[in-house]
């Protein structure tokens, strides 16, 4: 069963961490910094989550949508494809790909409620095609949630579930899903949860014989998010977004 | 609102815990953990940029030179085309999106999504996909023929070695799908395509989907009726990969008999035919059968000897058949186990694909598949190929189709089969009968049925987006 992820397109599409953070040349021209890009991604990931709560989809659809969003912007600039349209379109596409289709007009309905943007269904459907191309039609995404549950069971650490699950949710506010195997992300979240909850799972980790450096790198990313981006001042978000071409 | 978004506590999402997580996320078996990590490390250093279809410089609409129309699919037209980059013939499926309210058709999306994960000589290759003028184009390798055409071709004699070869290729394709947690759900001879080099490839992944978690609920309205496993006929919604095995068993039988094996006219008639062939299951044989949603009790009939149904088959073939046709899905053989069955290692060895018999050449107007519907030589083997996506009246349609079959069967000249098919009728009761309590239950079921049909209609509506009520989407977790 483990052979699964390792032969998937998701695995083949994994990127090196340094490559993911790079600012697209077109965005650079508009004065966007690496920091701006990071903030826009976090902001839009949160936006996808908010939208998803209104249109009521499964956790997994949200996670897939955010992954699509982040993957698209490793290839396209924010100045090229407006994130305000890409975010809801990712949610729409993910709902179809995960077999729990949401109607296009419903997504647009809530999009109009939450933002001032005046995109219509037609715009979203056009963007859907562009996203499919940008994603190279690779749509199957693996997530850390399922390995998390199974690993916790194996480690006999069920009491960490709530904490570790929240941590996994927060990894979607980073590009981790584009750079590490979901199974490693799950392990890092368990590792992190052990520290937070003061549980000793050293022997269990040792027996796994996984690359602890990788686990630490993932944990560092999560720490960086909590330290620096958990609540971003609105001015910062606006200043980043204002560098994008104003479409409306 | 931005503030609000930033503060969405991670805990907010906790009650959304979805225990029906993605099948494929499943257990990274711990004992293999080290291996996996190493594998990942190795690949990280030398990771190549994501693979793109080779020369992207050339606009795809230029690259694939369109030729004649090959056929009309459920959701698009299929053209023959010539790939000027690889100098190969391809098949391009064109899906019109013009005024679609829901963008890319989910069936098309499913097919692309799953085929992008699969690459195997016994699975149709997806070569490319691209948008052009309001249409989504999907490029497949070109396939000369399909197994239905082979089975129907009166000029073809299928030797035991040929049949073994077709079955081996079918099961190899299935094993790969199942290893990747993909259910095909539409196995039938018409969807087993045959390439010019004789390789058989699973095609048409429009009904396929990922599976795996035990509680996931699927629709049981899959497969053409004659290929539906008994658990599906009884309305099971958490079935597994062995539904494909049952269908493969039907295909095996069809290769031996040269006609569809269990030609029911509706769900119940189909189950009756299944039980008539394999006996009504005893409690010990399939303990959970009574708990299935659409279970109806059938009068007990013993199974006729399998030998009597397949007089020409070898012992090994019969043994494998019986394992593929095991009623209780828990005990049915898997694709991998079937490939390891002695049938495939005993003589005769499977025919090399390039030496398999080829269907007679067809007229140039439609070179891929001949419309043999009214072929003179004998009964028409017509699988209810379009029935599966017409969910509203599947029984009706199947009924009409089977009528056509019997009409043309009585009208045509007798076929020269290698085996005494008339004998079959004698040993093969039309179908097992429903018991009294079964009938009562059925009455209740019939009442439920109209509700089920309504639901079906709603599902269809929501797919075509006729429902204007935004509230409706709360119910959108469709069990597909
Ligand atoms: N790869 C292919 N090579 C040659 N012909 C094909 C190929 N795929 C489809 N066709 C032709 O196009 C028709 C419609 O295909 P498809 O869209 O798969 O139909 P459906 O979804 O209704 O089964 C087929 O019956 C066949 O004649
Ligand atoms: Mg087909």
Domain count, chain A: 2
User: In the structure, what pLDDT confidence band is assigned to residue B219 with cuts at 50, 70 and 90?
Assistant: confident
**Is it the case that residue B214 has pLDDT exceeding 90?**
no
Alpha-carbon separation of residue A150 from A11, A145, B379 (angstroms): 20, 9, 54
How far is the first Cα of chain A from the last one, in angstroms, to the nearest whole number? 49
Q: Which of A19-33, A58-72, A177-191, B153-167 comes out lowest in average pLDDT?
A: A19-33
User: In the structure, what pLDDT confidence band is assigned to residue B174 with cuts at 50, 70 and 90?
Assistant: very high
Q: Could you tell me if A10 and A138 are in contact, meaning their C-beta atoms sit under 8 angstroms apart? A: yes
For residue B17, the chain A residues in CB contact (below 8 A) are: 59, 145, 165
Residue after which a domain boundary falls, among A99, A125, A140: A140
Q: Could you tell me if B154 and B377 are in contact, meaning their C-beta atoms sit under 8 angstroms apart? A: yes
User: In the structure, what pLDDT confidence band is assigned to residue B362 with cuts at 50, 70 and 90?
Assistant: low
User: In the structure, what pLDDT confidence band is assigned to residue B392 with cuts at 50, 70 and 90?
Assistant: very low
- Same domain for B190 and B108? no
User: In the structure, what pLDDT confidence band is assigned to residue B24 with cuts at 50, 70 and 90?
Assistant: very low
pLDDT for the residue A17:
82
Q: Could you tell me if B75 and B108 are in contact, meaning their C-beta atoms sit under 8 angstroms apart? A: yes
E-state strands within B287-384:
none
SS3 content of chain A, % helix, strand, coil (to 5): 70, 0, 30
- Same domain for A133 and A169? no
Between CA B213 and CA B191 the distance in angstroms is 27
pLDDT for the residue B444:
53
Q: At what angle do helices A59-72 and A121-134 cross, to 10 degrees?
A: 70
Between CA A97 and CA A91 the distance in angstroms is 10
CA-closest candidate to residue B192, choices B308, B50, B353, B75: B353
Q: Tell me the pLDDT of chain B averaged across its residues.
A: 73
Give percent above pLDDT 70 in chain B.
62
Mean pLDDT of B342-347: 97
CATH number of the domain to which B466 belongs: 1.10.510.10
- Domain that includes residue A216, residue range: 145-228
- The total of other beta-carbon atoms located within 10 Å of residue B432's CB is 20
Choice between B42 and A180, residue whose per-residue pLDDT is larger: A180
The C-alpha of A185 sits at a distance from chain B's nearest C-alpha, in angstroms, of 12
> Which residues, in sequence order, are CB contacts of B336 under 8 Å at separation 6+?
B175, B178, B179
Alpha-carbon separation of residue A9 from B35, B114, B140, B212 (angstroms): 19, 10, 18, 18
User: In the structure, what pLDDT confidence band is assigned to residue A186 with cuts at 50, 70 and 90?
Assistant: very high
Residue after which a domain boundary falls, among A140, A167, A199: A140
- Same domain for B347 and B301? yes
pLDDT for the residue B73:
81
Q: Which of A31-45, B156-170, B307-321, B455-469 comes out lowest in average pLDDT?
A: B455-469
- Same domain for A127 and A222? no
CB contact under 8 A, B478 and A183: no
- Same domain for A150 and A133? no
**Is it the case that residue A2 has pLDDT exceeding 80?**
no
Mean pLDDT of B202-225: 77
CATH number of the domain to which A163 belongs: 1.10.472.10
For residue B20, the chain A residues in CB contact (below 8 A) are: 58
Mean pLDDT of B238-261: 96
pLDDT for the residue B440:
61
- Same domain for A29 and A54? yes
pLDDT digits 0-9 by tens, A89-116: 999 999 999 999 999 999 999 999 998 8
B186 catalytically annotated: yes
Choice between B473 and B300, residue whose per-residue pLDDT is larger: B300
Name the region of A31 (left: φ>0; alpha: ψ -120 to 50; beta: rest).
Answer: left
pLDDT for the residue B394:
31
> Which residues, in sequence order, are CB contacts of B359 under 8 Å at separation 6+?
B145, B149, B150, B153, B156, B370
Residue after which a domain boundary falls, among B141, B167, B195: B141
User: In the structure, what pLDDT confidence band is assigned to residue B222 with cuts at 50, 70 and 90?
Assistant: confident
**For residue A71, with 0-12 CB atoms within 10 Å meaning exposed, 13-18 middle and 19 or more buried, which class applies?**
buried
Position A83 in a domain? yes
The full 3-state SS of A139-186, as one line of letters, equals CCCCCCHHHHHHHHHHHCCHHHHHHHHHHHHHHCCCCHHHHCCHHHHH
Q: Could you tell me if B327 and B285 are in contact, meaning their C-beta atoms sit under 8 angstroms apart? A: yes
Give percent above pLDDT 90 in chain A.
79
CB contact under 8 A, B473 and A1: no
pLDDT for the residue B100:
72
Backbone torsions φ then ψ of B182, nearest 5 degrees: -110, 125
- Same domain for B299 and B168? yes
- Same domain for B96 and B168? no
Q: Could you tell me if B22 and A146 are in contact, meaning their C-beta atoms sit under 8 angstroms apart? A: yes
Mean pLDDT of B93-122: 90
Q: Which of B83, B128, B146, B186 is catalytic?
A: B186
Alpha-helical (H) ranges within B310-435 are: 315-324, 335-339, 394-411, 421-427
- Same domain for A96 and A175? no
pLDDT for the residue B249:
98
Angle, CA B56 vertex, CA B55 and CA B58 arms, to 5°: 85
Choice between B398 and B295, residue whose per-residue pLDDT is larger: B295
Position A47 in a domain? yes
pLDDT for the residue B387:
28
Residues with CB under 6 A from ligand 1: B 70-71, 73-74, 76, 78, 91, 93, 124, 140, 142-143, 193, 204, 206, 368-369
Which position has the token pair 């990071």?
A38
- Same domain for A126 and A23? yes
pLDDT digits 0-9 by tens, B296-307: 999 999 999 999
pLDDT for the residue A21:
82
Ligand 1 atom closest to residue B204's alpha carbon, by position in its atom list: 18
**Is it the case that residue A3 has pLDDT exceeding 50?**
no
Instruction: Quote ipTM for the complex.
Output: 0.93
Residue after which a domain boundary falls, among B118, B141, B164: B141
CA-closest candidate to residue B20, choices A169, A49, A190, A59: A59
**Is it the case that residue B79 has pLDDT exceeding 90?**
yes
Between CA A181 and CA A174 the distance in angstroms is 14
- Same domain for A136 and A175? no
- Cis ω for the linkage preceding A165 (within 30 of 0): no
What global pTM score does this model have?
0.78
- Same domain for B149 and B109? no
Q: Which of A10-19, B132-141, B203-212, B468-477 comes out lowest in average pLDDT?
A: B468-477
pLDDT for the residue A66:
98
**Helix or strand run (H / E) with residue B137:** strand B135-141
Q: Could you tell me if B214 and B19 are in contact, meaning their C-beta atoms sit under 8 angstroms apart? A: no
Q: Could you tell me if B22 and A142 are in contact, meaning their C-beta atoms sit under 8 angstroms apart? A: yes
Q: Could you tell me if B245 and B334 are in contact, meaning their C-beta atoms sit under 8 angstroms apart? A: yes
Does the annotation flag B93 for ligand binding? yes
Ligand 1 atom closest to residue B144's alpha carbon, by position in its atom list: 4
pLDDT for the residue B397:
31
E-state strands within B42-87:
64-72, 77-83
3-class secondary structure, B92: strand
Nearest CA in chain B to A49: B5
pLDDT for the residue B438:
60
| The residue count for chain A | 248
Q: Could you tell me if A100 and B478 are in contact, meaning their C-beta atoms sit under 8 angstroms apart? A: yes
pLDDT for the residue B211:
76
Number of H helices, E strands in chain A: 16, 0
Residue after which a domain boundary falls, among B106, B141, B176: B141
> Which residues, in sequence order, are CB contacts of A58 under 8 Å at separation 6+?
A98, A100, B16, B18, B20, B477
- Same domain for B101 and B229? no
**Is it the case that residue B474 has pLDDT exceeding 70?**
no
pLDDT for the residue B34:
33
pLDDT for the residue B12:
36
């Amino acid at each position: 069963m483990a052979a699964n992820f390792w032969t998937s397109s998701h695995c083949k599409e994994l990127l090196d961490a340094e490559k993911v953070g790079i600012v697209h040349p077109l965005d650079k021209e508009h004065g966007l910094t690496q920091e701006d890009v990071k903030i826009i991604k976090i902001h839009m990931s949160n936006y996808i989550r908010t939208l998803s709560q209104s249109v009521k989809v499964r956790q997994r659809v949200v996670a897939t949508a955010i992954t699509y969003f982040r993957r698209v912007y490793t290839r396209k600039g924010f100045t090229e494809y407006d994130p305000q349209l890409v975010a809801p379109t990712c949610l729409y596409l993910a709902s179809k790909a995960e077999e729990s289709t949401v109607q296009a007009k419903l997504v647009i309905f809530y999009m109009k409620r939450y933002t001032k943007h005046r995109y219509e269904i037609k715009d979203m459907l056009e963007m859907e095609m562009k996203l499919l191309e940008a994603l190279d039609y690779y749509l199957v995404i693996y997530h850390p949630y399922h390995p998390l549950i199974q690993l916790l069971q194996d480690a006999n650490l069920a009491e960490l579930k709530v904490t570790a699950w929240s941590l996994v949710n927060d990894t979607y506010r980073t590009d981790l899903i584009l750079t590490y195997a979901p199974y490693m992300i799950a392990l890092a979240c368990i590792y992190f949860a052990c520290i937070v909850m003061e549980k000793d799972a050293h022997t269990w980790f040792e027996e796994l014989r996984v690359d602890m450096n990788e686990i630490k790198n993932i944990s560092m990313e999560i720490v960086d998010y909590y330290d620096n981006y958990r609540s971003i001042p609105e001015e910062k978000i606006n200043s980043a977004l204002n560098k994008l071409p104003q479409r409306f | 609102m931005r503030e609000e978004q930033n503060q969405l506590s991670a805990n907010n999402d906790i009650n959304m815990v979805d225990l029906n997580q993605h099948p494929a996320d499943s257990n990274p078996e711990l004992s293999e953990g080290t291996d996996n990590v190493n594998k990942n490390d190795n690949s990280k250093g030398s990771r190549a940029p994501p693979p793109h279809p080779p020369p992207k410089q050339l606009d795809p609409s230029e690259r694939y030179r369109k030729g004649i129309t090959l056929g009309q699919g459920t959701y698009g037209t299929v053209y023959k085309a010539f790939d000027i980059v690889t100098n190969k013939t391809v098949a391009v499926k064109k899906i019109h999106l013009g005024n679609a309210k829901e963008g890319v058709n989910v069936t098309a999306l499913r097919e692309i999504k799953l085929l992008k994960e699969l690459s195997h000589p016994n699975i149709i290759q997806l070569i490319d996909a691209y948008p052009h003028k309001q249409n989504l184009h999907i490029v497949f390798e070109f396939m000369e023929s399909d197994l239905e055409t082979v089975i129907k071709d009166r000029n073809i004699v299928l030797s035991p070695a040929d049949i073994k070869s077709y079955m081996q290729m079918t099961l190899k394709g299935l094993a790969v799908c199942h290893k990747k947690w993909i259910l095909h759900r539409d196995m039938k001879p018409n969807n087993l395509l045959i390439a010019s080099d004789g390789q058989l490839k699973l095609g048409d992944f429009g009904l396929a989907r990922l599976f795996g978690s035990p509680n996931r609920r699927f629709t049981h309205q899959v497969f053409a009726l004659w290929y539906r496993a008994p658990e599906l006929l009884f309305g099971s919604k958490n079935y597994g990969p062995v539904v494909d095995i049952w269908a493969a068993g039907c295909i095996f039988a069809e290769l031996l008999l040269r006609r569809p094996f269990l030609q029911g006219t509706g769900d119940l008639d189909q189950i009756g035919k299944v039980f008539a062939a394999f006996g009504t299951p005893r409690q010990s044989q399939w303990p959970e059968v009574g708990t299935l949603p659409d279970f109806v009790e059938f009068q007990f009939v013993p199974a006729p000897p399998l030998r009597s149904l397949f007089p020409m088959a070898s012992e090994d073939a019969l043994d494998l058949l019986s394992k593929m046709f095991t009623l209780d899905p828990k005990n049915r053989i898997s694709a991998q186990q079937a490939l390891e069955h002695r049938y495939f290692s005993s003589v005769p060895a499977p025919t090399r694909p390039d030496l398999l018999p080829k269907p007679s050449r067809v007229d140039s107007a439609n070179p891929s598949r001949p419309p043999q519907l009214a072929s003179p030589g004998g009964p028409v083997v017509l699988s209810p190929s379009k029935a599966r996506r017409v969910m509203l009246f599947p029984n009706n349609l199947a009924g009409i189709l089977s009528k056509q079959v019997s009409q043309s069967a009585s009208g045509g000249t007798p076929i020269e089969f290698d085996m005494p098919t008339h004998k079959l009728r004698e040993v093969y009761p039309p179908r097992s009968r429903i018991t009294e309590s079964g009938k009562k239950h059925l009455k209740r079921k019939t009442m439920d049925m109209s509700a089920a049909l309504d639901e079906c209609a709603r599902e269809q509506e929501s797919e075509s987006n006729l429902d204007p009520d935004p509230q409706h989407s709360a119910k959108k977790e469709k069990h597909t």
